[in-house]
Structure formats: C-alpha cells, structure tokens
C-alpha cells in the first residue's frame, strides 16, 4: 500500500469516537435489526457521534431493497459495512428516490449504494445544509446507477453524491460507475458522480461511465466549486469513459469530461499517479482547472492522458489562470480543434519535465495551445510533425515513431506502455526524475536492457517485470 493512501486513511477517523453503536442484522426495509431502525435509533440517541454497524448476523452481500427513502440523518454518524459488503438499493427502479440524506457529518465504509434518484441533488447520497465543519468520508464505497434530475431553472448536482457545505470531503478506495446528473430545464448539470463545495481528496478510486446532460454541464465524473481556500488532491485514481456533453439544442457549453475543478479563491490542485482515458466534453476532454481571483498552482505528476476528446479546446487538459507544474506526464491520442493535448489560457508555466507529447488523434488540432513558455523544460519528447509545443516546451526532442506498444489495463491503473527500443525509455533527465512512477514503483530502472538504470520520460517506468500484459506483449 502506498504511503499516501495511509496518510489519507488516517483522516477517516477525523470525527470523534462514536458514543453509541446500533446494529443492522437483516435485509428488511424496516423493523428491528433493519438499517432504517438503526438510523432512527441513532437520530434519537444522546451525545453523538454514533455508529451503525452491519453485524455478523447480516448476510454477506445482502441486499436491502427500500420501499421509501431512509430517514434524514440528523446526527454525526458512521455507517460501517464491517466486511459484510451490504448493498442498499430501491425495490422498484421505476419509482426511485434518494437513498440517504444527512445534514451532519457522515462516514460510510465498505458498502454499496445503487439506483437512487434525486430531485436536483445527490441520487444516492445528499448532504443537505451541511456547513463548513460537517465532513464527508467515503471509505471503500461503491455507487452505481445513481441519478439526479432537475427541471425548470434548477441545477442537477452530483449524480451519486452531492455535498452542499464547504467542509472537506475524502474519497478513498471507492468506485463510481454509471451515475448521472441531468438538467431537463435551463439549469446546469454539475458532477456526473460527485459534486462538492469544499476541499477534496480522492485516492485509489475509479470513476467509469458517469455522465452529464443539460444546458451548461461541468465535470462528467467530479465537479468542485471551492468557495474557500483549501486543497484539491487527486491521486492513484482512474477516470475512464466519463462524459460532460451538453444538450446541443439548449447550449453548446460543456467542460471537463472527467473533472471540473473551479477555485473561487486561493487553492492548490494536485493530480498525481492517475489515468484519464476516453473521457469527452465540449471543451476540456478530461480535466478543466480554473482560478478566479488568483492563479491556481496545478501539480500534474505521473499521470497519463489517452484517447480523450473535446470538440473545441483542450482534448486532455484545459487550464485557465493556473500555473502549470508538469512532471512525468504522458499524452497520446487526445483530440480537440484547438490544443489537442493541452489548452492553457492566462496560465504561466513553471516546469515541464520528463513528459511525453505523443501524436494527437487523427483530425485533431495541434498538440499545444499554450501562451507561455516553461521556465524549466527538460527531458521532454514531442511528435516530430507537430511544432505547436516548441514555444511552450522548448527543447523537446522530436520523435517520428514513439514505438507505442499499447495501453496495459492489467496493472492497478491503466498505463501507456512503450517498446523497450523507444527513445522515451531510459530517456528522461536524471536531475528531474521523480522517485516513483504512476504505479508507485521505484524510479529509475533499466528499461532498455543496456545495463544502466536511467529514468524514463512519461508516467510509467519500464519495465515492470512481475507480470505479463494481458493484451499479448511481455513485460
């Protein structure tokens, strides 16, 4: 386990020790031993925070099918699946409702929430009226087929999870699949899976097939509007096949196929050891980062962008009022009319090092649309036929054939792998070599077999000898 995960896991006990524990022992919708009864009892017990735990009598993988919404949680609470892996869903998907609502701090562990439907906020989990101290922690929680729908002028916020306050939100070891936020009127749709208003940490999590639809849409997987100073830290996570595609009749405005990270005031953003693949939007096919009153520092380290698409600008990355620090990034087969890989507006560039700007998708505009030159640019590679990055990333080595082997999905995160004979293997700058790669494996290693352990450019350090690639080529 990576040390970063342990640091974040230590935050999972941020709420005070529980004063009382209430057991869930059966899959019934109501009555003694039910989840509903445990929540009712916790609400009326004195001296919170409290804990609800699925005990050993609860059947493993047991499914609770709800006939009506669970009671609003009115106390700081932890709900722990405790190794029973419970699933909470609706009895009739055609008549669904929000599964869990709270106005207080909440920790969820080791359970699944499916098929909830919200009216404007949080199809499966909604934090209603939570303030700047009511923290949300999601620890190994799965959300699937959760939807929120808004009509009229209202906005649809967080297909699976909406947290209305500005308190920190931590998501670790969790999975979000096939969730969506839809605006049927003139309002916005924000966060196909998650919408938060405070500092955010995501670690060792996956977001797949989440979507938005409506007039203005932002953040196919995650939307953050950080109204207070704080950090957005996303690492060791995969974002694939998420979509922020607006209704072309209502509006052509959509940003951030996977992430829309908007800082209203001072904040820092870190994207590390992560993968973005096949996400799509009108602009910012994968990631959108914007500062407003101040320039936002963005550290982009050990991260890969493959096959993302935007119609207009920034096939992989669109930044505005952001200072870029890019180390060991890989860009390949992304596409947009302008800035096939990267579009940067009003954004200084501090460093671009040991990064790979491989060819963009067929029909895309050129790789880079960046209005500033990097203060430090070293160990980088670009496609020889694409000169668009020459000013912003001066000195990048032109490559006619990157000798790309393919995307290996058998690893903990998907990685774009190069043949051992590729110039990027053992081709990085030693002085700017990070100590580990996208998978947390040590750098440098001897990737080309010449007996010298040198740093690679790009997110992945070749080779990883403890496995064989599932798509047919050896490690």
State residue 251's pLDDT score: 59
Average confidence (pLDDT) over 297-308? 98
238-252, 369-383, 420-434: which has the minimum mean pLDDT?
A: 238-252
Q: Tens digits of per-residue pLDDT, 259-290?
A: 999 998 889 999 999 999 999 999 999 999 99
In the DSSP assignment, the letter for residue 445 is B
pLDDT confidence band for 313 (50 / 70 / 90):
very high
Mean pLDDT of all residues in 155-168: 94
Domain 59-265, what fold? Pectate Lyase C-like (2.160.20)
Q: What is the pLDDT of residue 16?
A: 55
Distance, in Å, from the CA atom of 39 to the CA atom of 7, rounded to the nearest integer, reads: 30
Task: Quote the radius of gyration of the chain (alpha carbons, Å).
Answer: 23
Q: Are 82 and 50 in contact (CB under 8 A)?
A: no
Q: Which of 8-22, 243-257, 461-475 has the highest mean pLDDT?
A: 243-257
Q: Where are the beta strands (DSSP E) in 284-432?
A: 287-291, 296-306, 309-310, 317-320, 322-332, 342-345, 349-353, 356-357, 368-370, 376-378, 381-383, 397-399, 404-408, 415-418
Please tell me the predicted confidence (pLDDT) of residue 356.
Answer: 98
CA–CA distance, 331 with 327 (Å, rounded to integer)? 12
Mean pLDDT over 119-125 rounds to 95
Q: What is the mean pLDDT of the segment spanning 23-51?
A: 97
Tokens representing 38? 């445990």
pLDDT of 145 higher than 80: yes
pLDDT band at 133 (very low <50, low <70, confident <90, very high): confident
Q: Which two tokens stand for residue 268?
A: 């820092």
Bigger pLDDT: 467 vs 339: 339
pLDDT tens track for 182-236: 999 889 999 999 999 999 999 999 999 999 998 899 999 999 999 888 999 999 9
State the chain's mean pLDDT as an integer. Answer: 92
* Band of residue 470 on the pLDDT scale cut at 50, 70, 90: very low
Question: By the 8 A CB rule, do 53 and 21 touch?
Answer: yes
354 in Cβ contact with 326 (< 8 Å): no
What is the per-residue pLDDT for 465? 53
The overall pTM is greater than 0.85: yes
Measuring CA to CA, how many Å separate 210 from each of 241, 255, 367? 7, 14, 26
pLDDT band at 7 (very low <50, low <70, confident <90, very high): very low
Which secondary structure element, helix H or strand E, spans residue 261, and what is its range?
strand 259-263
- In this structure, what DSSP letter does residue 154 have? P
- The domain ranges of the chain are 59-265, 295-475
d(CA 101, CA 169): 16
Report the alpha-carbon distance of residue 250 to residue 139 in Å, rounded.
37
* % of the chain surpassing 90 pLDDT: 86
């Amino acid at each position: 386990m990576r040390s970063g995960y342990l640091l974040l896991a230590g935050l999972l006990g941020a709420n005070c020790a529980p004063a009382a524990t209430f057991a869930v022992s059966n899959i019934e919708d109501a009555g003694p031993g039910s989840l509903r009864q445990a929540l009712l009892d916790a609400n009326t017990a004195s001296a919170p925070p409290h804990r609800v735990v699925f005990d050993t009598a609860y059947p493993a993988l047991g499914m609770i099918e709800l006939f009506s919404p669970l009671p609003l949680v009115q106390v700081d609470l932890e709900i722990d699946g405790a190794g029973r892996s419970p699933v909470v869903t609706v009895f009739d998907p055609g008549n669904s409702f929000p599964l869990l609502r709270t106005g207080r701090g909440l920790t969820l562990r080791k359970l699944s929430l499916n098929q909830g439907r919200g009216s404007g906020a949080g199809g499966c989990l909604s934090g209603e009226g939570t303030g700047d101290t009511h923290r949300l922690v999601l620890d190994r929680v799965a959300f699937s087929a959760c939807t929120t729908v808004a009509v009229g002028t209202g906005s649809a916020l967080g297909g699976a999870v909406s947290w209305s306050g500005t308190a920190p939100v931590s998501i670790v070891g969790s999975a979000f699949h096939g969730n969506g936020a839809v605006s049927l009127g003139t309002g916005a749709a924000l966060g196909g899976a998650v919408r938060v208003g405070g500092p955010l940490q995501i670690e060792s999590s996956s977001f797949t097939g989440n979507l938005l639809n409506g007039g203005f849409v932002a953040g196919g997987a995650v939307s953050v509007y950080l109204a207070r100073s704080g950090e957005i830290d996303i690492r060791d996570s995969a974002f694939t096949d998420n979509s922020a595609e607006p209704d072309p009749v209502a509006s052509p405005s959509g940003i951030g196929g996977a992430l829309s990270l908007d800082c209203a005031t001072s904040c820092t953003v870190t994207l590390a050891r992560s993968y973005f693949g096949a996400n799509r939007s009108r602009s910012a096919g994968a990631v959108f980062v914007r500062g407003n009153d101040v320039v936002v520092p963005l550290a982009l380290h050990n991260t890969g962008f493959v096959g993302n698409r935007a119609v207009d600008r920034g096939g992989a990355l669109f930044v505005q009022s952001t200072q870029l620090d890019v180390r060991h990034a890989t860009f390949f087969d992304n596409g947009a009319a302008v800035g096939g890989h990267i579009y940067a507006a009003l954004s200084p560039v501090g460093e671009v090092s040991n990064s790979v700007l491989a060819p963009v998708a067929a029909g895309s505009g050129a790789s880079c649309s960046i209005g500033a030159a990097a203060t430090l640019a070293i160990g980088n590679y670009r496609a020889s036929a694409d000169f668009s990055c020459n000013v912003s990333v001066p000195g990048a080595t032109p490559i006619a054939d990157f000798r790309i082997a393919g995307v290996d999905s058998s690893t903990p995160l998907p990685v774009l792998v190069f043949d051992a004979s590729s110039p990027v293997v053992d081709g990085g700058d030693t002085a700017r070599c990070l100590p580990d790669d996208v998978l947390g494996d040590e750098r440098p290693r001897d990737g080309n077999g010449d007996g010298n352990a040198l740093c690679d450019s790009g997110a992945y350090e070749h080779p990883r000898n403890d496995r064989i690639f599932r798509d047919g080529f050896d490690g």
